[in-house]
Structure 1
Amino acid sequence: MSPGNVADALLRRWYVVAVALLLTLAGAYRVVRPAPQYVGSAVVVLKPPVTQNQPNQLTNLQPPLAVVSYGVVQQLQSPAGAAELRAAGVRGTYHLVPRNSGTSATPRYLIPSLQVQSQASGADAAVTAVRRIIDVYTRHVDALQTAQKVPAYGRITASVLTSPSAAEVQGDRSRGLAGTALLGAAGGVLGALWLDRYAMNRRNVRPGRRRLAGPVPVTD
């Protein structure tokens, strides 16, 4: 199809292009003035029990604690864990991300710290969701040790290193506008061309159907 044919098709189906333009303008308005979104976050770490050799718990963070933390994260990411979080009042999008607190010379996730994130339309809602996730996470850690009959003096504990806080999500408006314009232009052109081809095919088929439906001549 030549550029001239494309231009003719777009002129014939100008209403498709007009609808695509209106949808593009609506999408651009949403990009320029998006609904406010906030991300709440906090950092939780599993600390070993206090011992005479290691009175400072933060100096005795061992890799097995990271394994325990990751096991609890897997429980919360399962369908049953997701249902438990919903029952606790956690709504919207949330993430449980084990942090790599080591260096290039140490194994990944050596330090048993966990970053908890939650996205909501308000700052208070995002912080509240993070706190509820931490509460459920702590209950799972305690339940795991209770099932193993670990005494109180020998238990690991979940401690909040970074208090829950929320920050507004700042998107890149220029990229959003460029993507919206590209999608709108592509959708308008492709939709107009498809509709024009469809209409032309139907127009070409109808005369043939009429000839077949007419009387059939009888020859001797």
Structure 2
Amino acid sequence: MTALELVGLLLRRWYVVVVCALLTAVGGLLLLDRPPVYYTQFEVVLLPPNETVNPNTLREDPYGMVPMAGLLVEEYNEGHHPLNMSTTETTLYGEGLTRGERVRMRNVGNQWLPIYDHPVIDVQIVDPDAARVESEAARIAGDLDRILDRRQSELHVRPRSRMSTEMAPEDVVVQQITGSRARTAGGLALLGGSLTVVAVIGVERLSRARAARRSRPPEQVAAVERELISQR
């Protein structure tokens, strides 16, 4: 089918084009009128004991704190393992979520071979309420700190030899996520146009098939029906 034939078909089946355009417009109103969400991402870093022989810095640690960070994540999530993605750059709002939180180890590997080489916990929060995002960030950081203290108390670790946590960044940065209206509108227009062409071609083929059946002699139609019945 040439472009000129397609244009003629669209003009001939204008009512299908109108219906598809209305459906696309309704979809655009629903998607473009969505309220913004608020998002934050920060890291909770485990620091080695603050002793003279081992300053409280982010250098390579001899204590192997990665397993402890994993225990904190495991206990906070109550045994539920966050979904591993193909990259650590994925975000909750990018996955289509408008409300939720995620606490996981920072993975420097991939989806199939995760590698956790630093005691760093990645925290993400998304919610329609900016104040709730900020309060949830403080709560999660506090919960992780309390879990660490309890774990070390159970092991009878003396205060000077205890690990500690630090938020990075220290102040939570809450972002307003609205998405790109231009990209959304362009995607809808492309999707709506493609569906319109498919619908018009489908209606045209259906109409031709019906016209062909009507033009057949009754004897031929009856023979075709008997053949179909015998094949069953």
State the TM-score, normalized to the length of structure 2: 0.65
SS in structure 2 of the partner of residue 80 of structure 1: coil
Aligned partner of 2:222: which letter?
A: A
Matching residue of 1:166: 174
Distance 2:208 2:156 in 1: 78
CA deviation after TM superposition for structure 1 residue 152, in Å: 4.5
Distance 1:62 1:209, change over 3 A: farther
Deviation at 1:138, TM superposition (A): 4.0
Read off the aligned partner of 1:198 and give its amino acid letter.
L
Amino acid at match of 2:167: V
| Partner residue in 1 for 2:185 | 177
Number of residue equivalences: 199
Question: Which residue does 2:128 correspond to in 1?
Answer: 121
SS in 1 for 2:52: coil
The question of whether the paired residues in 2 share the 8 Å contact of 1:66 and 1:111 is answered with yes
User: Aligned to 1:114, what secondary structure does the other structure show?
Assistant: strand
What amino acid does structure 2 have at the position aligned with 1:57?
A: N
Q: Deviations over 1:50-91 (max 9, x none)?
A: 32313x423556283245324544666687367xxxxxxxx8
The aligned residue for residue 87 of structure 2 is none
The residue type paired with residue 195 of structure 2 is G
- What residue number does 1:105 align with? none
Identity fraction in percent = 25
* Aligned equivalents of 2:151, 2:14: Cα separation in 1: 65
| 1:151 matches 2:157 | yes
1:205 and 1:74, CA in 2 relative to 1: closer, same or farther beyond 3 A? farther
Question: Residue 39 of structure 2 aligns to a residue in which SS?
Answer: strand
Provide the C-alpha distance between the structure 2 equivalents of 1:76 and 1:192, rounded to a whole number of angstroms.
54
- Cα 1:4–1:140 change in 2 (3 A) is same
- The offset of 1:168, in angstroms, is 0.5
* Gap runs ≥5 in structure 1: 83-90, 102-107
Cα distance in 2 for partners of 1:122, 1:58 equals: 35
The answer for the alignment partner of 1:57 in structure 2 is 56
1:204 paired residue number: 212
1:213 is the counterpart of 2:213? no
Alpha-carbon separation, structure 1, partners of 2:68 and 2:216: 74
> What is the Cα deviation at residue 109 of structure 1?
6.5
Note the residue ranges of structure 2 that are not aligned, 5 or more in a row: 83-97, 109-114, 227-232
Question: Is the Cα contact below 8 Å between 1:16 and 1:191 reproduced in 2?
Answer: yes
Is residue 39 from structure 1 mapped to residue 39 from structure 2 by the alignment? yes
Instruction: Provide the rounded CA distance (Å) in 1 between the counterparts of 2:61 and 2:209.
Output: 71
Contact 1:48 1:60 survives alignment (8 Å): no
- When residues 145 and 178 of structure 1 are mapped into structure 2, their CA distance, relative to the original with a 3 A threshold, is same
Take 1:159 and 1:136, find their aligned partners in 2: how far apart are those partners? 13
Higher helix proportion, which one?
1
Contact 1:62 1:110 in 2 (8 A): no
Gap change, CA 1:143 and 1:3, over 3 Å in 2: same
The one-letter code sitting in structure 1 at the alignment partner of 2:123 is V
- Partners of 1:205 and 1:97 in 2: how far apart? 63
Higher mean alpha-carbon deviation, 21-30 vs 182-191, is at 21-30
User: Which residue identity lines up with residue 57 of structure 2 in the other structure?
Assistant: L
Give the partner amino acid of 2:42.
Answer: A
